[in-house]
Structure 1
């Protein structure tokens, strides 16, 4: 995995190429509503107003709201509707619901982005297709690669959704001095990406703090928090900076509303702005989870949450990306034209 890092990643000490000139903003984001879910429409309405997304970028599909999964055929119908109605310039998608979150055994964000991949559900512990967007320099993914990376603006209540969206808007171009925490717990299976954690030091405005502990407690400057654990304790002792990314490597974190482990929604409810988890048993392949250095590198040069998170996962088929896709605390140019 370390060899997958592109030459421009200055975290690795190389300057062979310039970082991507990130430009994704509200004009290039599509908002997808589930017409069968009243909460989905409320979330979408607030998202559009708060971020200033053009009304022509809002498209409604109809999916079952009473179950967590959809079929391949239901996905195909919804994708066809989005492809037909979404303006060609839209480069990424915000899906405004918490369920359904999977397509058979695949994450619904992968389904809307890349389509259905047959065969994965027969043996979910095997490798899944390599993402063409992984660590890519692309800044117009639909135009350059034919993909619209998607993220679920997922919440189980409107107040939770509003708080999440407000954090995403507050993050834009804020350039906070904060810290990135990488926790090695000693859990052999769930520490599988720990060798990829960066060394202690600084990366621009972020202090890099790899630690060995069961959990992180009493920190009030959290921009990145990555750990391997079934459940993460002491979230109520932490303060997440607007735009914070946090995830835990475990089997079913992406089962948002009914996980037997800790749902990725717990991160958002604790104050993080985006997260990631898998919806079916992935085994402990680190390629199925966010690569710490790739995530950091893209986020710190101005990527939005949807771009940085998507670019950090090599095999994303079984995962779901959740949070505010337009969170971009380190965007260097271009204001977010949010509604008052």
Structure 2
């Protein structure tokens, strides 16, 4: 079955896209989780729908058009977050729902638009991944990994504490916008495999799963990317074998990984606690032995008065 799947051009494109999605989504999602913006990907997915509809209306590649529109929407979200006060949440709501409604309307007006096309972008579809889509996904994924790995120290500092990052001289506003743009590009990368309505889950759930058993940012990053890659490949293969929706399958596998690692978290925490306690006892015993081995002051002078 595996050999047959790998020999199919359709599945070759789908598996390549799945690997790129599995790597990029958690790589960006870890910064969003750190910033407590776990649902930002969902909002960008709504806005990207307008780009998809505009691509069909103008007879251009919907992936590139969705990338442009979602980047503009992500920048608008970040500016609203930075400058918005009382009405900021209402502005974001109008942006999200307006983006989705605009996409549906544009898809309806497009001469080659249809409900099947709309569904494939909302929930993902392996059968519709073309060579042009794979090329666009590869280029966009390269940009995402260049940013998330090359600037990881700066992005982590901004995500952890904006005020501290500002004091250290980092360009906080520019880095915040870069995170938003990278998230928008990631949504575009993932929409052909997972779908616009489910992409946010793949950005967040692998990170949440990794955090159950890790303690450092670096290890969490690596494990989240590994989980994302495994579940996207497994979900894509299951979709081909059992004819189930790829996006839903991938997200359900990611949630299953979360519960498995959550179940393993308690025993691992107890093991760490025992190891730490044993290490502390060993240090204390070593100090006691060392102290007890010191010669008594009365004997150290060999009877010579000091």
TM-score interval for Structure 1 and Structure 2 normalised by the shorter chain: under 0.3
Higher relative contact order (CA 8 A, sep 6+): 2
Give 1 or 2: higher strand fraction: 1
Q: Which structure has the larger Rg over C-alpha atoms?
A: 2
Which TM-score applies when normalising by structure 2?
A: 0.24
Which TM-score applies when normalising by structure 1?
A: 0.22
